[in-house]
Amino acid sequence: MNQTIWYFDNLRFLLAAFVVMWHAANAYTGTGGWPISETEGSAFVYGFKTLLDAITMPLFFYISGYFAFPSLQKKGVRDFIKAKFWRILVPWALSLLLIVPFVEWVSRMATGALAQDYLGVWIWQMNRMLDPHLGFVGNGFYQRYMWFLSLLFGFYMLLVLVYKLSPSWFNTDRSELLQLSFKKARSYKFIVTVLGVTVLPMFVVILLVLIIGKSSSPEPFISVFNVFQFQSSRLLIYLTYFTLGILTGRNLWIERGLFNHRRLWTVVFTLSASLYFVLMNVLAPIIPDEIFGMLFVLFINLFIVSALGISIALCKKYWDAPSFGNGVYASHAFNIYILHYVFVYLLQWWLLSFESVPLVVKFLSVSVLALSLSYFVSRYIMKPYPKRMVIIGVVISLVLVFVV
């Protein structure tokens, strides 16, 4: 697939921006749990973050699945694995070695909890990483935002396995499918089917985690020997949307009009987003946990599938052309994901001392600056000179080791 699909490129850049804003928001929600946090919280930032938290990563997995199908067809198994190794695993490993220890050091500096020099923090992180752990992450090694890359690579390997078992399914003639367009009723059926696949299993997993796992959190992160880490309840969601992306490309769902009914998708999205927002920001403190849990599982899955539908419906209609600097911004989405974490932490730390600045202003400032800095580093250093970018990271790490 050599032709650029602009609405997907534009959507991918928007999702990268959402990831930056999601991490930027964590310091200003007042809920704690983020290494660098303000003592107070903003209701607006918290409400906005709940929406981003629900939809961003499932849509990322969907787009990844969509492009994986033609890529595997075109390259074959060996070249596909090789490409994903260099594209996914190498940045993942470098980030674990260079970025994750750095942000741990920054967070300790910001909170006054630093009891070691940088080398001590780095060695501490590496020892935890090399200590294989199976179960809840807890106080063990945590990949932070890098969990996405390792899990995505795992999904790619599952796809390769399916391809090896049934290559005919991937290579079948699909020209006749174009004659079968989707009616509005099929879009309703799609929504109900996705809910059926995700709602009950997610609810069961949460119950198992709470009752059998005796976890204090209904959605804890689970570590599989420190290689794969994921929220237990959302693993099925991510796999479902990765699979839906594959099925979309293989069965030509977009070309056949599954997402063409914009009025339907707009109504469902508006309703589901409103219900989910009210649940998370109004009803959560006042309704019993049992009722909240059931509503949460239903509403989040309805919100995700409707976000998928409205995103494709609107982007395909109104955003299917180069934008943001003639499309150049979209090509940096992946690098922005890799780089932004450093800038988010540093900016949040820097703004801690500006107590009079409203939290919403801090949130917007961190979001815009981190996104902009990540883009400029990607465009002028990382993309044209990837090896130089690695050297810069190593040099910075060595300076921190010997100076700090």
Tens-digit pLDDT profile for residues 233-279 = 999 999 999 999 999 999 999 999 999 999 999 999 999 999 999 99
Chain mean position to CA 245: 15
CB 63: neighbour CB atoms within 10 A? Answer: 23
C-beta atoms surrounding 295 within 10 Å: 18
Q: Alpha carbon of 223 to those of 112, 113, 129, 205, 236: distances in Å? A: 28, 25, 11, 15, 15
The 3-class SS string of 32-67 reads CCCCCCCCCCCHHHHHHHHHHHHHHHHHHHHHHHHH
Residues 19, 338 contacting (CB under 8 angstroms): no
Cβ proximity of 381 and 332 under 8 Å = no
Assigned token pair, 342 = 């450093």
Residue 201, Cβ density class (10 Å: 0-12 exposed, 13-18 middle, ≥19 buried): middle
Q: Tell me which DSSP letter residue 261 carries.
A: -
215, 136 contact by CB (below 8 A): yes
Residue type (1 letter), 37: S
**Which helix H or strand E contains 365, and what residues bound it?**
helix 359-377
- Name the residue type at position 125: Q
pLDDT at residue 3, rounded to an integer = 67
For the chain, first and last CA: distance in Å? 48
Helix axes 289-318, 262-278, angle to 10 degrees: 150
What is the C-alpha separation between 49 and 163, in angstroms, rounded? 37
Enumerate residues 6+ apart whose C-beta is below 8 A from 157: 81
> What are the tens digits of pLDDT across the range 332-383?
999 999 999 999 999 999 999 999 999 999 999 999 999 999 999 999 999 9
Residue ranges of the chain with per-residue pLDDT less than 70? 1-3, 115, 324-326
pLDDT in tens, 50-62: 999 999 999 999 9
Map out the domains of the chain as residue ranges.
6-403
H-only helix segments in 251-358: 262-278, 289-318, 333-351
- Give the Å distances, CA to CA, from 113 to 116, 130, 385: 9, 23, 36
Alpha helices in 85-183 (DSSP H): 90-111, 118-129, 147-165, 167-171
Six token digits for residue 283: 């009803």
Specify the pTM.
0.95
The two three-digit tokens of residue 115, written as one number: 């009891």
In whole angstroms, give the CA distance from residue 347 to residue 28.
Answer: 13
Give SS3 for 376: helix
Helices 235-250, 184-211: crossing angle, 10 deg rounding:
160
Token pair 């050599």 is at which residue? 2
Residue with tokens 């391809």: 163
User: What confidence score (pLDDT) does residue 1 get?
Assistant: 42
Query: DSSP assignment, residue 253?
Result: T
